[in-house]
Structure 1
Amino acid sequence: MADAPVRPVGALPLFPAVAFVLVWSSGYISGPYGIQHVAPFTLLTFRFGVAAAIALLLARLLRGPLRIDRSTAVRIGLTGLAMNAVQFGAIYLAFDAGLGATLASLLHALTPVLTAALAALFLKESLSARQLLGLVIGVAGVVIVLGPDIEGAGGPVAVGLGVFSAITLSLGTLGQRWIGHAPDPLWAAAVQFAVSVPPLAVLALALEGTHAVSDPVRGGLAVAFLAIVNSIVGLLLLAALVRRGGAGSGSSLFFLSPPVTAVLAWLVLGETLTGLEVLGLFVAVVGVALGTRRAAPRLIS
């Protein structure tokens, strides 16, 4: 039998990498689309409720029973609340306030380098000059995209919520390290989806009432896409990339999300960018690429 081909260290399989970028970017389209038909907290309650049910079923069938101690379960749950309920709650409110899909994607693309900066600040981890430069360039790109008229980006409330969401995503990423030795990623995701549903449901009922769905058909399609494609398929693709390219594989592709989101937002939502915004997008993408570059993973077919 011939020896199996040796896969280069750090190389990423082409199909999962491309699919992951498309799935990740599509979340910035399906979110704004969904809130046109379902109020933000109600949409998230349905999204994570469906995702939790699917993930729990898959985890039980594919991984067997969950076996973790109470302390680890609490850490997984708290991290899930930050990553899902708080982070998505903020960005969906930002969408509802007028934040564009491309700018939201750009803010979230900064999270790998922002996470490195927060780790240096709170965990005393080393921050390389390249990471710091990448963060500075990335932030400069965002400032260029915003321009002098912040109202054109949705106003200060929308932008503030978007920034808060990006910071929460970075803190949630640090929380994954706090978990320590976690169970299978599928089980961890199932728990994190599930614990996010009750607080989101309470907020939905308290703030949005029982008439939060304006279009059940389009809203249902948005929920199905968000839960199945963005939550479950995205999770499985990320797991495939981690198995092939290492734990940093997903973050190494973040710089591709904003331009892909910009194209999807133009095609689906009709969003357009001015010349200055395109320049800012390019500058920010360069910053994120610089800040997340390790031994740049290669895509292989």
Structure 2
Amino acid sequence: MTAPANMPAVGVAGITAAAAVAPIVWGTTYVVTTQLLPAAHPMTASVLRALPAGLLLLAMRPGIPPRGWRLRTAVLGMLNIGCFFPLLFIAAYRLPGGLASVVGALQPLIIIALTLMLRWGRPSLAHLLWGIVALIGVSLVSVTGGASFDLLGFGASVLGTVSMASGILLTRRWGTPPNTHPLNSTAWQLIVGGAAIVPLIPVFDRGPWDPTAGGLAGYAWLTFIGGALAYSLWFQGARTLAPTGIALLGVLSPVTAAVLGWVVLGQALTLVQIIGFVVALGGSLGGQLTPAYRSRAALRQAIS
């Protein structure tokens, strides 16, 4: 398992399993958005996914970040939420055929590259290989023959992936402020990121916002499950597990979305996609079972 060497294996497995819930939940976003939410309001959905969830967690664990951590909290909030969400939606709207998911699956490889460039550790060759395996699997699951290329959408997808990868790296490196509950740190990231997206609503959203009862249920799902619960579990994993390992869990999101498209929406599931499922899950699992660093000294360097 990819975690500090002195952590019990049972504890690592539990944190990994909990963190895996987050991308699985996020994989439901496409079905919830297309079947329940009002159309053409992506930034409204982003804000309601982040801001109310952050306020809820803050009510549970009140307090403000200590001095010296406020800028760090703001940076993490922007990387993980404020920048990532808008770029994600732009990519999703402009890149058909699951191409955005494929670019997102590059995240483990981007984390490895950033780690080496910044000299924050020495990820193992095995993690690089598992990242490539996961990328191949997601490609088989997501890309269809009708996929087309859009420069703006591709650029947004790449920037969004780099933003989230940077957020994961810094979350692991910085950890949690002293004497601060992790939920409080998660709350402020959601609040900062959600607030930053509010001005984008009149720019990107179109038409009247008139949610039905189903729409309200969809927003509640995004807020409480996709926001408060999922990000609490995800950031716990990001603070504890190796960055490459947590990123490899992210491939569960497009896999879940494809499965739900088959089960709920009746979309066709090809033999190639089934093979892709197996390959992607194998890459994700292999990444969790592989030591993240070549030595304990390298690990100490990575988290110092």
Query: Into which bin does the TM-score normalised by the smaller protein fall?
Result: 0.7 to 0.9
1:288 aligned residue: 284
How far the C-alpha of 1:268 sits from its partner, in A, is 3.0
Does 1:42 pair with 2:40?
no
Contact 2:28–2:257 under 8 Å retained in 1: yes
Q: Percent identity?
A: 24
Shift of 1:285: 3.4
Superposition CA RMSD, Å: 3.7
Deviation at 1:215, TM superposition (A): 3.5
Q: Is 2:177 aligned against 1:174?
A: no
Relative distance call for 1:141 and 1:259 in structure 2 (3 A) is closer
Deviation at 1:81, TM superposition (A): 0.9
Residues 215-267 of structure 1: CA deviation (Å, up to 9, x unaligned): 44343222211110111122344577789xx5358557445444333222222
Q: Partner amino acid for 1:68?
A: P
State yes or no: 1:131 paired with 2:127: yes
Deviates more, 1:6-15 or 1:174-183: 6-15
Deviates more, 1:177-186 or 1:74-83: 177-186
Q: Secondary structure at the match of 2:69?
A: helix
| Residue 58 of structure 1: how far off its partner (Å) | 1.2
> Which residue matches 1:89?
86
Counterpart in the other structure of 1:111: 107
Q: 1:216 to 1:122 in 2, by over 3 A?
A: farther
Normalising by structure 1, report the TM-score: 0.74
Q: Secondary structure at the match of 2:122?
A: coil
Consecutive aligned runs of 4 or more in structure 1 exceeding 6 Å deviation: 239-243
**Counterpart contact for 1:48–1:196, Cα < 8 Å:** yes
CA contact (8 A) 2:65 2:73 kept: no
In the aligned structure 1, how far is the partner of 2:16 from the partner of 2:170?
29
TM-score, normalised on structure 2?
A: 0.73
Q: Is the 8 A contact 2:25 2:230 kept in 1?
A: yes
Which residue in 2 is equivalent to 1:264?
260
Relative distance call for 1:26 and 1:206 in structure 2 (3 A) is closer
The alignment covers a number of residue pairs equal to 280
**Alignment of 1:195 onto 2:192:** yes
Secondary structure of 1:10's partner? helix
Q: Distance in 2 between matches of 1:51 and 1:286?
A: 32
CA distance in 2, matches of 1:21, 1:140: 18
Stretch deviating more after TM superposition (188-197 or 157-166)? 157-166
CA contact (8 A) 2:16 2:237 kept: no
* Residue ranges of structure 2 left out of the alignment (5+ in a row): 1-7, 293-304
In structure 1, list runs of 5 or more residues that go unmatched.
1-5, 297-301
